[in-house]
Chain A
Amino acid sequence: KAHRKKERKPRRKSCQRQDLYVDFSDVNWDDWIVAPHGYHAFYCNGECPFPLAEYMNATNHAIVQTLVNSVDPSLTPKPCCVPTELSPIAMLYVDECELVVLKTYQQMAVEGCGCR
């Protein structure tokens, strides 16, 4: 009855948003940034395999690139997993003139990833 399980290759994760918390003390910026102490920046990682699922937000270009890759991988790699939507964060900090500044910075955190 010995049943040998079919060994499967571990499936690589498909393109999705991954956790990344940027702690300002890790980069020694905590002496001039008052708030926040850090923020969830996230990052995008994973494969963009065929078939490109709906949630991968593939562009027409990515679909064509997938097709070309399927014909001859030496012509082009598969599409890349990249941020498709970013959001701003606000920071309270002391500037180089020792003025206290509250400012919002665009494109600081990943909201969504996709295959591009």
Chain B
Amino acid sequence: RASAMIPEIGRNNLIEQAAKYGTNTREDEIVNEFEKKLLNMFGLTRRPTPNEDMPIPRIMQHLYKAHMGDTSDGPHDLYPGWEPGFDLPSDDIASTVNTARSFHHKDEFERIEGLPDHHIRLLFNISTLPPNENLKYAELLLHREEIKQHVSLPDEDRMQRINIYEVIKFPDDDVTDTSSFDDVTEEQNRILEIVNKRRNKFGSQKMREPITRLVATRLVDTSNTTWERFDVSAETQKWLKDKNHGLVVEIVRDGDESTPAPDVTSHVRLRRDVRNENEPREWHHKRPLLLTYTHDGKETNLSRRSRKKR
């Protein structure tokens, strides 16, 4: 019963106690009801059984510490390159939410046909957000690492621009619909590939590029390391109600929007770096992250706690 919320010894004791009640209900059913209450308390449908070596994003560990008001060992001391300014969202937001969830994008969908190679698609499956929780805020986090060779460059050569686009529509939504991408089987992928190949062979009258909309743009200095945070609340709200085609990120040279910036992989961590031997553990902590902030109607919030002396 490794997947049970109640340990075996506790279960046996509860069954014994339930037997003393002398009701018509079977003792194990009474204990199962109690187990359901425990799951409900945490908003779970079953007991989580994560892999032992599953890494926990440092950002989430830091959010926990920030909520607890723990600034004794700032994350910048623990993790080299950490941006000291990283914190919970503003108190206006933190006081209206009580849950933060982190989502990783689906790597297998990072390329979009019809878009240049340096456009990386970030598709987050947020369909598991509990329906009883109200989404208040969502932010996209992109990790940037300094490019050491850029430190000595003049200002204008160090600057790059991050553009974030929302993918509104694909040329043919029926074929490229990924709203249920979790259920895409290998067979479906194979069929999709064949359909796309045929279209390329015979030519398609339809527009090939997806329709995108610029949602954020930011000029960044490549000689420093930090996390970039983008408010994507409106887009995330739409994904809950409508199709989710994700976001597209491009990094370009400042002033030359048509040229992809060099060293993109080593600067903004949008893709795995196969040259780095510390991957994939490092990738897990630095890969793009979608943080959603929700409220379940209970009277708690994520505001920074004041340290109370008992």
Chain A residues proximal to chain B, CB less than 8 Å: 27-29, 31-32, 34-35, 40, 88, 90, 92-106
B100 and A96: CB pair below 8 A? no
Contact A102 to B64, CB < 8 A, known contacts A31-B49, A95-B44: yes
Instruction: Identify which of residues 35-84 in chain B touch chain A, using a CB-to-CB cut-off of 8 Å.
Output: 41-52, 54, 56-57, 60-61, 63-64, 67-68
The answer to whether B57 and A101 touch across the interface, beta carbons within 8 angstroms, is: no
Contacts of A93 in B (CB 8 A): 42, 48
Interface string of B268-310 (1 = CB under 8 A from A): 0000000000000000000000000000001111100100001
Given pairs A32-B48, A104-B302, 17 additional interface contacts (CB within 8 A) = A34-B56, A34-B60, A34-B64, A35-B64, A90-B64, A92-B60, A93-B42, A95-B48, A96-B48, A96-B49, A99-B102, A100-B60, A101-B100, A104-B67, A104-B98, A104-B99, A105-B298
Nearest 6 Cβ contacts at the A-B interface: A104-B300, A32-B48, A94-B50, A92-B64, A102-B100, A103-B99
| Neighbouring A residues of B10 by C-beta, 8 Å | 27
Given the complex of chains A and B, what is the CA–CA distance between A100 and B292 in angstroms? 11
B contacts with A, residue count (CB < 8 A): 39
Task: Please pick, from A40, A100, A106, the residue contacting B102 in the complex, using a CB distance under 8 A.
Answer: A100
Closest B residue by C-beta to A93: B48
**Are A92 and B56 neighbours in the complex by a CB distance under 8 Å?**
yes
The secondary structure that dominates the A interface is: strand
- Complex: A31 Cα to B5 Cα, angstroms: 11
Residues of A within 8 A of B54 (CB): 94, 98
List the A side residues contacting B45 at CB < 8 Å: 96
Give CA–CA (A35, B99) in the complex, Å: 14
Report if B101 contacts A (CB, 8 A).
yes
Give bound CA distance, A50 to B301, whole Å: 40
